[in-house]
Amino acid sequence: GENVGLHLPTLSVQEGDNSIINCAYSNSASDYFIWYKQESGKGPQFIIDIRSNMDKRQGQRVTVLLNKTVKHLSLQIAATQPGDSAVYFCTFNNAGNMLTFGGGTRLMVKP
């Protein structure tokens, strides 16, 4: 039968350009946010995190921005490379140690 799956938003960028992946979260009580990267055939891997007392945090080629007013999170990747092609998930903490995962955004890097 027809395979109807989740429609993942897809971002297609040229190698070397900057990428911005956006995420909206729902729980105003969340105070910890993580971006994960999942490459094909692998488990999600931690990229960068941010606490709610910050609005920006930078890592190597990646920056996370948090806007608590509108409950919005973004991941910026500088000088995107083919190895950045993956599905990216934003997550936020929930009750206990649980994380709520967003639906994911697929990043495709064109050489």
User: Phi and psi for 24 in degrees, rounded to 5?
Assistant: -110, 140
Question: Is 38 in contact with 45 (CB distance < 8 Å)?
Answer: yes
Residue 60 binds another protein (CB under 8 A): no
Residue 97 binds another protein (CB under 8 A): yes
Residue 29 binds another protein (CB under 8 A): no
Write down the least CB distance from residue 46 to another protein, Å: 6
Residue number, 96 or 111, with CB nearest to another protein: 96
Residue 93 binds another protein (CB under 8 A): yes
E strand or H helix that includes residue 56: strand 56-58
Residue 4 binds another protein (CB under 8 A): yes
The length of the chain is: 111
Residue 70 binds another protein (CB under 8 A): no
The CA angle 74-40-22, to the nearest 5 degrees, is 10
